[in-house]
């Protein structure tokens, strides 16, 4: 009996000795746990956990795992995610039914993946460059709200010097900046740190500033922004509703000018970033805002704007009316704004044409009210309809036959208390009419949709022409968003994934679409804008434990300066892609401080990444020229340095062969000495269709020109400011 008892006792020991197979990184850990850095650690109280994947036999008894303190996450068939207490790793390997254990590879919930995707890392590392480019000597201005002036990311990389040089809080009382009569200006570090923040319930400005120019201090560099040695100027904004509806946006123009004026006072170039927008306006770059912005930008003064987040919302209607097709119907589903259903509906036609708008209420598919009819008479109409439920639809409208751009325009402010639906209809015999829906309240944008709604004569809206007027400004660098990362692990140990919404490498579904109404290519470029981690406002408690945004927090740093908790968190939107581009523009301005907006747009387009996701000929209404490439853009920028002083070209040497040409031609030119040369292709209307900057050498140069994307016809080739050569493309 004693022998049998011994055999029975030994049996489970033999089974436990048959440990599960393990991954290579786990093998390294088992050999030397303290030296291995190839796993993801999480800390809960005094206990360390290691993130893992477990492959198990089905059915699987989880009780032994739970008894060891293992926290099971997702059960995806026979694959589990689990957090294993560090002291229990060996015991877990012996749990029956576990076939394979893989340590989670470190996934950098930070800006590192976006920096690599945009080739910023190559610029920072100075690969085949004369020096690292970090934004030093450049002013990066952020026009936003929700700034934390004390956040470590706005210090230098040593954490000792605050890089914020100026703050203008436009909506707060105090000391206005010189030349202005409103707001509060902060000009020294002590005042900024004493004030702390502009808004304590919002983090957008801090996050945007961190992407463009954060040092990432407190994150071991993983959260470092693009132009991390630049100087910073913050302008806290909250435009009035009349500015949005009038498309004057005077306070934003003031903000841009404030940034440029400061930069000029210290002899530095500047890029101003605005990650705000609204869908209303003519969307043709003719508004007062657009005109003013074109006037104040220029050499060393660049403005970058987010394209907008309406790419997956049907907020736009369009119709080219004819005498036999005179009506367009759609249900206007209003967004909920502070518990109220309301929106602006902004409608524009073409010059010299006319249209009218009707509004009715429907209970299901049954009309339940009379019609309100709005015309282009230059007057404000404030009226209402009563629905079948006895409640009210309020409409305030203003129409004008020829606005500042000569186009007919009708703006409606709609507020619906009724449960009935709104049937929105446009009527004309010959106009080409665009209509957009959108609303801005305080720091947030709200967007509804135009829907067919089951009514035979009605149509759905679409997501085209959804950039908004500010993004359609000619001098603006308008930035779409693409997806460099779709998942992350948060501070609480949870895995957040957007795999059902977006695909890595593709355009983000929310990214608004062009072109401009007048047919120009916008957006200009696309940058990473999905799940980017950056700094957030420490005064905004929503990112702290128990807050509504805590699930987005990925790193906490406790500052020894003030024992304050500072967070880094994930966010998505073209609000994130714009500062990525702004940071890259700052690197370009460091290389050439005199770059003009048009040249910046050209360089970004010429050097854009085109891959299997964008296609060889990207849809410019979605991607612009393609994905932003910081490294190639920086190298191309370096060729522009001194371009204005290029030695004379021997014009007698200029020739093209073959000419006529099909896919390629070669340009011949003689230079007196080595220098960069600007090559421009111009069509018969005088429009530049392509340009590039090449490094020329002393003597004869043969430069191959790619013509594959050109339509057959006549063009002119110009080198710097020499005479142009006629080129025929077959």
On whether both 522 and 608 belong to a single domain, the answer is yes
Rounded-to-integer distance, Cα 256 and Cα 357, Å: 36
Highest mean pLDDT, choosing among 236-245, 524-533, 679-688, 713-722? 524-533
Quick check: 264 and 557 in contact, CB under 8 A?
A: no
Give SS3 for 550: helix
Identify the CATH number of the domain in which residue 410 sits.
Answer: 2.60.120.1290
On whether both 404 and 528 belong to a single domain, the answer is no
Identify the CATH number of the domain in which residue 23 sits.
Answer: 3.30.70
pLDDT band at 686 (very low <50, low <70, confident <90, very high): confident
Quick check: 717 and 689 in contact, CB under 8 A?
A: no
Quick check: 572 and 531 in contact, CB under 8 A?
A: yes
Q: How many CB atoms lie within 10 A of CB 57?
A: 11
On whether both 485 and 352 belong to a single domain, the answer is no
**DSSP character string of 85-150:** EGGGHHHHHTSTTEEEEEEPPP---SSHHHHHHTTHHHHHTTTTSSS----TT-EEEEEES--BTT
pLDDT at 208: 97
Run of H or E residues at 206: helix 204-213
| Residue 580 within a domain | yes
Specify the length of the chain in residues: 730
Q: Buried b / exposed e across 257-267, counting CB within 10 Å, b at 16+?
A: bbbbbbbeeee
Q: What are phi and psi of 329, to 5 degrees?
A: -120, 140
On whether both 328 and 447 belong to a single domain, the answer is yes
Identify the CATH number of the domain in which residue 522 sits.
Answer: 3.40.50.200
Instruction: Estimate the crossing angle of helix 630-640 against helix 597-606, to 10 degrees.
Output: 130
Q: What percent of the chain has pLDDT over 70?
A: 89
Closest by Cα among 625, 397, 659 to 514 = 625
| Residue 519 within a domain | yes
On whether both 295 and 323 belong to a single domain, the answer is no
- Top pLDDT among 47 and 396 is at 396
| Residue 40 within a domain | yes
| Residue 321 within a domain | yes
Task: Give the number of domains in the chain.
Answer: 4
Domain boundary among 407, 437, 462: 462
Per-residue pLDDT at 169 exceeds 60: yes
Q: Indicate the DSSP class of residue 643.
A: G
On whether both 655 and 624 belong to a single domain, the answer is no
Mean pLDDT of the chain: 87
Check: pTM over 0.75? Answer yes or no: yes
Rounded-to-integer distance, Cα 198 and Cα 192, Å: 10
pLDDT at 641: 76
Rounded-to-integer distance, Cα 598 and Cα 477, Å: 9
Q: Buried b / exposed e across 307-334, counting CB within 10 Å, b at 16+?
A: bbbbbebbbbbbbebeeeeeebbbbbbb
- Tens digits of residue pLDDT in 430-456: 999 999 999 988 778 889 999 999 999
On whether both 217 and 246 belong to a single domain, the answer is yes
pLDDT at 105: 46
Give SS3 for 701: strand
| Residue 32 within a domain | yes
Lowest mean pLDDT segment, chosen from 17-31, 246-260, 454-468, 652-666: 17-31
| Residue 82 within a domain | yes
Q: What are phi and psi of 462, to 5 degrees?
A: -145, 175
Q: What are phi and psi of 294, to 5 degrees?
A: -60, -30
pLDDT at 18: 45
On whether both 498 and 599 belong to a single domain, the answer is yes
Q: How many CB atoms lie within 10 A of CB 101?
A: 23
Give SS3 for 687: coil
**DSSP character string of 606-628:** HT-B--TTT-SS--HHHHTTSB-
pLDDT at 113: 73
Rounded-to-integer distance, Cα 373 and Cα 385, Å: 11
Per-residue pLDDT at 347 exceeds 70: yes
Rounded-to-integer distance, Cα 19 and Cα 99, Å: 8
- Tens digits of residue pLDDT in 388-430: 999 999 999 999 999 888 999 999 999 999 999 999 999 999 9
290 burial via Cβ count (<10 Å: 0-12, 13-18, 19+): buried
Rounded-to-integer distance, Cα 115 and Cα 96, Å: 43
User: What value does the mean pLDDT take over residues 644-648?
Assistant: 55
Domain boundary among 462, 493, 513: 462
pLDDT at 42: 52
On whether both 150 and 262 belong to a single domain, the answer is yes
The token pair at 611 is: 């891959």
On whether both 420 and 489 belong to a single domain, the answer is no
| Residue 467 within a domain | no
On whether both 193 and 325 belong to a single domain, the answer is no
| Residue 551 within a domain | yes
User: What value does the mean pLDDT take over residues 123-130?
Assistant: 84
Q: How many CB atoms lie within 10 A of CB 306?
A: 33
The token pair at 205 is: 């400005």
Domain boundary among 636, 658, 692: 636
Per-residue pLDDT at 341 exceeds 60: yes
User: What value does the mean pLDDT take over residues 263-292?
Assistant: 92
- Tens digits of residue pLDDT in 200-225: 999 999 999 999 999 999 987 789 99
Identify the CATH number of the domain in which residue 697 sits.
Answer: 2.60.40.3080
* Domain hosting residue 15, numbered range: 2-103
pLDDT at 246: 63
Q: Indicate the DSSP class of residue 686.
A: S
On whether both 83 and 120 belong to a single domain, the answer is no
Per-residue CA distances from 648 to 135, 572, 668 (Å): 33, 49, 15
Rounded-to-integer distance, Cα 215 and Cα 46, Å: 30
Q: Buried b / exposed e across 476-500, counting CB within 10 Å, b at 16+?
A: bbbbbbbbbbbebbbbebeeeebee
């Amino acid at each position: 009996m004693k022998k049998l008892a011994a055999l029975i006792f030994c049996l489970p020991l033999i089974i436990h000795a048959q440990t599960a197979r393990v991954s290579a990184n786990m093998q390294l850990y088992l050999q030397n746990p303290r030296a291995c850095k190839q796993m993801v650690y999480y800390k809960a109280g005094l206990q360390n956990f290691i993130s893992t994947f477990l492959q198990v036999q089905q059915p699987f008894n989880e009780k032994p795992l739970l008894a060891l303190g293992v926290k099971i996450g997702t059960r995806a068939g026979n694959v589990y995610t689990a957090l294993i207490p560090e002291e229990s790793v060996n015991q877990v390997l012996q749990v029956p039914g576990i076939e394979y254990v893989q340590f989670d590879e470190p996934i950098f919930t930070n800006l590192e993946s976006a920096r690599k995707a945009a080739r910023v890392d190559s610029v920072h590392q100075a690969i085949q460059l004369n020096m690292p480019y970090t934004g030093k000597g450049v002013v990066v201005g952020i026009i936003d709200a929700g700034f934390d002036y004390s956040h470590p990311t706005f210090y230098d990389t040593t954490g000792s010097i605050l890089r914020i040089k100026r703050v203008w809080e436009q909506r707060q009382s105090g000391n206005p900046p010189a030349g202005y009569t409103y707001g509060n200006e902060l000009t020294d570090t002590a005042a900024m740190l004493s004030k702390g923040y502009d808004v304590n319930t919002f983090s957008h400005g801090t996050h945007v500033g961190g992407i463009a120019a954060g040092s990432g201090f407190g994150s071991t560099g993983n959260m470092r922004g693009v132009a991390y040695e630049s100087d910073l100027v913050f302008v806290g904004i909250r435009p009035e509703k009349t500015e949005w509806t009038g498309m004057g946006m005077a306070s934003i123009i003031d903000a841009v000018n404030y940034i440029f004026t400061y930069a000029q006072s210290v002899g530095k170039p500047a890029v101003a970033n605005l990650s705000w927008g609204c869908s209303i306006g003519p969307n043709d770059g003719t508004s007062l805002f657009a005109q003013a912005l074109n006037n104040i930008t220029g050499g060393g003064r660049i403005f970058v704007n987010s394209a907008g987040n309406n790419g997956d919302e049907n907020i736009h209607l369009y119709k080219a009316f004819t005498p036999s097709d005179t009506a367009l119907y759609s249900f206007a589903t209003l967004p909920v704004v502070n518990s109220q259903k309301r929106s602006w509906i902004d409608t524009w036609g073409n010059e010299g044409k006319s249209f009218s708008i009707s509004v009715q209420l429907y209970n299901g598919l049954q009309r339940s009210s009379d019609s309100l009819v709005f015309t282009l008479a230059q007057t404000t109409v404030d009226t209402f309809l009563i629905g079948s439920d006895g409640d009210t639809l309020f409409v305030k409208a203003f129409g004008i036959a020829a606005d500042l751009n000569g186009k007919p325009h009708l703006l409606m402010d709609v507020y619906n208390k009724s449960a009935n639906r709104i049937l929105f209809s446009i009527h004309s015999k010959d106009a080409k009419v665009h209509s957009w829906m959108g609303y801005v309240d305080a720091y947030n944008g709200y967007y509804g949709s135009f829907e067919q709604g089951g009514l035979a004569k009605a149509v759905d809206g679409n997501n085209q022409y959804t950039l908004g007027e500010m993004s359609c400004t000619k001098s603006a660098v308008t930035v779409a968003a693409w997806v460099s990362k779709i998942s992350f692990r948060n501070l609480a140990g949870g895995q957040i994934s957007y795999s059902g919404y977006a695909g890595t490498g593709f355009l983000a579904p929310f990214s608004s679409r062009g072109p401009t109404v007048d047919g120009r290519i916008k957006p200009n470029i696309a940058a990473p804008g999905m799940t980017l981690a950056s700094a957030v406002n420490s005064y905004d408690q929503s990112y702290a434990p128990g807050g509504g945004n805590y699930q987005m927090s990925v790193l906490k740093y406790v500052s020894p300066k003030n024992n304050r908790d500072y967070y880094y968190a994930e966010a998505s939107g073209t609000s994130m892609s714009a500062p990525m581009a702004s940071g890259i523009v700052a690197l370009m301005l460091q290389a050439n401080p005199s770059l003009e907006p048009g040249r910046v747009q050209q360089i970004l387009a010429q050097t854009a990444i085109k891959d299997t996701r964008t296609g060889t000929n990207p849809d410019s209404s979605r991607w612009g020229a393609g994905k932003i490439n910081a490294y190639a853009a920086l190298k191309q920028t370096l060729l522009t340095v001194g371009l204005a002083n290029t030695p004379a070209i021997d014009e007698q040497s200029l020739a093209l062969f073959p000419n006529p040409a099909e896919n390629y031609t070669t340009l011949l030119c003689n230079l007196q000495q080595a220098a960069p040369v600007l090559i421009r292709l111009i069509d018969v209307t005088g429009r530049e269709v392509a340009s590039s900057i090449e490094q020329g050498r002393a003597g004869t140069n043969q430069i191959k020109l790619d013509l594959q994307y050109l339509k057959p016809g006549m063009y002119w080739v110009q080198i710097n400011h020499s005479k142009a050569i006629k080129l025929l493309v077959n």
